[in-house]
Amino acid sequence: MTDDVVIVLSTLPNPEKAAEIARILVEEQLCACVNLVPSVRSIYRWEGKVSDEIETLAIMKTLRSRSGELSARLVSLHPYEVPEVIVLPLADGHAPYLAWIADSVR
């Protein structure tokens, strides 16, 4: 089961926008759950300048088979020109929780 579950990470400009997008993705069954971590400090280079911003980190749980569709939908909803969308494999997890993820996105 763990081979099927992936974690998708993305940063968003604020908790309100993050919650709006999270609700859409869960309602559309593209991910089972989204954890929102506010006040994440991001330091990055953009358009030749170093930026230092407070963002909200979205941690999404889905299946590898749905990650492409989730990523595409997230990009379509995201306010950034080049949004962060990173898909990570899951090494292990509580079997009933992983089964719930699978059931939630099928």
26-84 confidence digits (pLDDT tens): 999 999 999 999 999 999 999 999 999 999 999 999 999 999 999 999 999 999 999 99
Domain that holds residue 34: 5-94
Q: Would the pTM of this model clear 0.75, i.e. be above it? A: yes
User: What is the per-residue pLDDT for 3?
Assistant: 61
User: Burial, 58: exposed, middle or buried (Cβ in 10 Å; 0-12, 13-18, 19+)?
Assistant: buried
Q: In the chain, what is the straight-line distance between the N-terminal and C-terminal CA atoms, in Å?
A: 14
For the record, the structure tokens of 37 come out as 């971590």
Decide if 13 is inside a domain: yes
What are the start-end ranges of the E strands in the chain?
A: 5-12, 33-46, 49-63, 86-89
What is the number of structural domains in the chain?
A: 1
> According to the model, what pLDDT value does residue 12 have?
99
Place of tokens 């926008």: 17
- Split at pLDDT 50, 70, 90, the class of 106 is confident
Helix, strand, coil tally for the chain in percent (to 5): 35, 40, 25
32 is a domain residue:
yes
The enclosing domain of 87 has a CATH number of: 3.30.70.120
In a domain, 101, yes or no: no
| Amino acid at position 47, single letter | E
